[in-house]
A and B are shown apart, each in its own frame.
Chain A
Amino acid sequence: MVSEIGFLFLTIVLVISSFSFFQLLISGTNYSTDFFNQIKLSNLIFVLTLFSFICLTYSFAISDFTLNVIASNSNSQLPIIYKLTGVWGNHEGSILLWLLVMTFFGFIFSKNNLASHYFKNDVLKIQNSLCFLITSFIVFTSNPFEKTYPPPVEGGDLNPLLQDPGLVIHPPFLYIGYVGFSIIYSISVAGLSNQKKELFIDVLKPWVFISWIFLTCGIGLGSWWAYYELGWGGFWFWDPVENASLLPWLTASALLHTIVIAAKKKILINWTIILSILTFVLSLLGTFLVRSGVLVSVHAFANDPKRGVYILLLLALISFFGIFKYLKNYDGPTNPKQIHMISREGMISLNNIFMLSLTFTILLGTIYPLFSSVLFNSKISVGAPFFNSILMPVMLPFAVGMIIGPYVKWGKDDLFLIFKRVQTLLILFFFISLLVWYLNYKDPILSIIFIILGSWIIASSLFEIFQFINIKKRIFNIPKKIFAQVLAHMGIGLLIIGATGSTVMKKEKIQFQEIGESIKIKNYDVKFLGIKKVEGPNYLSQMGIFNIKNNNKTVKILKPEKRFYNSGKQVTTEAAIYSTLLGDLYIAIGDVHQNKKQYTTRIWFNPFTIWIWIGVFFLALGGLFSFFNSLARKK
């Protein structure tokens, strides 16, 4: 019964949002000929979608196995929290969540006081039309309320890999980020037909930051989950799905730099619009790649070519609409003012060039297997070595720009003056480099270079605050935008150090380990004490117990597990990790040897890994400062 109501709500959403869609087709973004009040429509759409989502969640909670998605992705034995989060542990439910977030953004935007009523109406018309397209996708190809007959007595199971707290929050964060770009798209496209284009930049700004923050956290959480759940000892695998989330993140990062210039100098407005459209199109492209099954990925979604065609259609429609609107309203460069190479604007433009080069190279690497299979009928795979080898050389000039950029003045600056400004910093750099080299001289040269680079970025960011205090003679009231930039740049610095540590400098030992045997790795002695059988709520676990000694003192007992989930007959690895600021000791336990005495154990020492997550946290915090800054300016 509840599920029928849920579907009814969804159908009404489809009908109501179609009003906006047809209105857009008929009158374009022109308020005067509108029949409907788009603001009211958007609120209605949100409330109905929310009800529909609640209905689905309720059906999951009571394990209503008459629904196809629940029968195949949930189970009556699941802990309640995983029953609820099972809503987005499958294709259909996750797209409904996507729609919910999309309508929610429209709803919040309708409460925005900054935009004029007309502009708001235009933006929401586009946003509602996007909702219409997604709703039609749900109703026609991925209906979560589809019935199965006869209903099974017991469901399949939620993929055990997804039964993890990291995965409970990772998808919603990622979706808020991804889908947040829809409102950026709507604002930009609506802004195009506005007479004064620069006016919408201030409206756009907070949305860019908030979506970016969520996407950053979403990617960070996903990577954190992969690190401790998958048991492969890595945090990033250049999987197509990961790349799909990284692409819009890169263009959004470019966008949030550009939008600062656009707001301040009223230049690069067209470029801001292009980046906004591109970011959302890349989000959709990611969805297409992930959900249609055109690429091999570790992320398994139930694939269906029919869905693929539909998403492709949406992708084409939405991108063409954006491009069409852009070309139609393009009236030459908006501002003939030239950007000087040696100026803050110039530095930010450089940032954009790097970001976009990176985006397109990663895009190319991600879809190349598809192209080669279609055009040359040859199967190839593009893996981590390709991505790492393109990332490293790009990182160097990028980091240098990040270090110098903040010290360059707006308008026009002089190289000599910049040099004078950062004199002290350069001396500092010299000593930092010596220190890093002294501490790590045994490690590969590549790792030393990148750790030095990361430290430089952090040092220069901190130096910026120091210099600000020095010049302005005040410790408090440091502007939010400086904090934002310093934190975010430090985040990148930490990320570089963490990523270098856990890839280039990692130590790995894989062996058959007998009970009682000790393995030495880095400064640690890892002694295998034994195996314990543990019963969880819906799994059996083989838990290894390891005693970790550092300088003959026990520092930690680690308990990696291998879990056997009852109903899905699936096995997952739960790595155990001892984290310190200097590195993670990471143990995963495998099968028992035929002699019944030895177990496969994989022990890693991943230096500095924890700094990756701290870096992500700094990035998000920086974004948050920018977000509040962009709100404060308006009042």
Chain B
Amino acid sequence: MRYFFITIFVFCLFVFYQGLKKNPRDIPSNLISQEIPEFYISSFNGPNLSHIDLKKDEIKIVNFFASWCPPCTVEHKQLQSLSKKVTTYGIAKKNKNKDLSKWLGKLGNPYKNIGMDYEGLVSIEWGVYALPETFLIDKNGIIKYKHVGPIMQRDLEKLENLIRKLR
């Protein structure tokens, strides 16, 4: 009996120790390996943006962001270097055009097109719960990977590898 308890106890300690290496905030998306959800929204500098644009025959990333979100500013530099290698779309969540143009004017615009998600409904469709979030989409419009939080230098390598594999 006593060995039973000690075994359980040691096992718990082991699991706790392993747990330390994991980040509880990494939550995989249910949308992975699925087609992108349908949506139609107005665009920042074009007529509009919809899921049809995102299904076009190329690999792309879709970045959910907002000018009011400080971590989005942090990842901007990395996003710009990424945009040179892969087509980058942005979806601005609950953002005013005026604020957004000021923000892009200051930091530069890595996006091919920006959808304006004024009400935040598209973000809900995509299961976005924290800004920024970035989706990697393959040639057939299937979501392959989701990154939660700002893309830092160390994440860049992983994303680039994934993109290389898709090609």
Contact = CB atoms under 8 A, between A and B. Distances in A.
Contacts of B13: 312, 315-316
A300 to B, nearest CB: 11
A296 B23 CA distance: 9
Nearest to B20: A308
B27 A294 contact: no
Interface string B8-50: 0100110111111111111110000000000000000000000
Interface in A253-304: 288, 292-296
A369 B24 contact: yes
B6 interface: yes
B2 interface: yes
A375 B22 CA distance: 12
A305 B20 contact: yes
A427 interface: no
A contact residues, range: 20 to 34
Nearest to A370: B19
5 interchain residue pairs of minimum CB distance: A294-B19, A374-B18, A308-B20, A296-B24, A370-B19
A296 B19 CA distance: 12
B6 A294 contact: no
B24 A374 contact: no
Given A323-B6, A327-B2, 11 more contacts: A288-B16, A292-B20, A294-B16, A294-B19, A294-B20, A305-B21, A315-B13, A369-B24, A373-B24, A374-B19, A374-B22
Given A312-B17, A316-B13, A327-B2, A373 B25 contact: no
Contacts of B28: 379
Given A293-B24, A379-B27, A309 B19 contact: no
Helix, strand, loop or mixed for chain A's interface? helix
29 contacts: A292-B20, A293-B23, A293-B24, A294-B16, A294-B19, A296-B25, A305-B21, A308-B20, A309-B17, A312-B13, A312-B17, A312-B20, A315-B13, A316-B13, A323-B5, A323-B6, A323-B9, A327-B2, A367-B12, A370-B15, A370-B19, A370-B24, A373-B22, A373-B24, A374-B15, A374-B18, A375-B15, A379-B26, A379-B27
B1 to A, nearest CB: 11
B101 to A, nearest CB: 18
Nearest to B28: A379
A374 B14 CA distance: 10
Contact of A312 (B2, B16, B25, B70): B16
Given A312-B17, A374-B15, A295 B24 contact: yes
A36 interface: no
Nearest to B18: A374
Contacts of B16: 288, 294, 312, 370
A137 to B, nearest CB: 15
A386 interface: no
Interface in A486-531: none
Contacts of A371: 15
Contacts, number: 47
A319 B9 CA distance: 9
Nearest to B23: A293
A59 B9 CA distance: 42
Contacts of B5: 323
A367 B20 CA distance: 13
Interface of A: 288, 292-296, 305, 308-309, 312, 315-316, 319, 323, 327, 367, 369-371, 373-375, 379, 569
B71 to A, nearest CB: 13
Helix, strand, loop or mixed for chain B's interface? helix
Interface of B: 2, 5-6, 9, 12-13, 15-28, 70
A630 B21 CA distance: 46
A301 to B, nearest CB: 13
Contacts of B24: 293-296, 369-370, 373
A435 B9 CA distance: 50
Given A327-B2, A371-B15, A374-B15, A309 B20 contact: yes
B106 to A, nearest CB: 17
Contacts of A373: 19, 22, 24
B32 to A, nearest CB: 13
Contacts of A316: 13
A295 B26 CA distance: 11
A347 B104 CA distance: 70
A446 B5 CA distance: 38
Contacts of B21: 305
B79 to A, nearest CB: 22
Contacts of A367: 12
Contacts of B27: 379
B36 to A, nearest CB: 22
B27 to A, nearest CB: 5
Nearest to A594: B118
User: Most B CB atoms within 10 A — which of A294, A305, A379?
Assistant: A294
B53 to A, nearest CB: 26
Nearest to A324: B6
Nearest to A296: B24
A152 B159 CA distance: 35
B126 to A, nearest CB: 18
Contacts of A294: 16, 19-20, 22, 24
User: Most B CB atoms within 10 A — which of A288, A323, A369, A373?
Assistant: A373
Nearest to B25: A296
Contacts of A379: 26-28
B2 to A, nearest CB: 6
Contacts of B18: 374
A373 B15 CA distance: 9
A309 B6 CA distance: 20
B100 to A, nearest CB: 16
B24 to A, nearest CB: 4
Contacts of B25: 296
Contacts of B19: 294, 370, 373-374
B95 to A, nearest CB: 13
Contacts of A369: 24
A371 B12 CA distance: 9
A438 to B, nearest CB: 44
Contacts of A312: 13, 16-17, 20
A309 B23 CA distance: 14
A375 B11 CA distance: 11
User: Most A CB atoms within 10 A — which of B20, B23, B25?
Assistant: B20
A295 B19 CA distance: 9
User: Most A CB atoms within 10 A — which of B17, B18, B21, B24?
Assistant: B24
Nearest to A292: B20
A375 B24 CA distance: 14
Contacts of B15: 370-371, 374-375
A351 to B, nearest CB: 23
A278 to B, nearest CB: 11
Contacts of B20: 292, 294, 305, 308-309, 312
A594 to B, nearest CB: 8
A135 B2 CA distance: 32
Nearest to A306: B20
A325 to B, nearest CB: 13
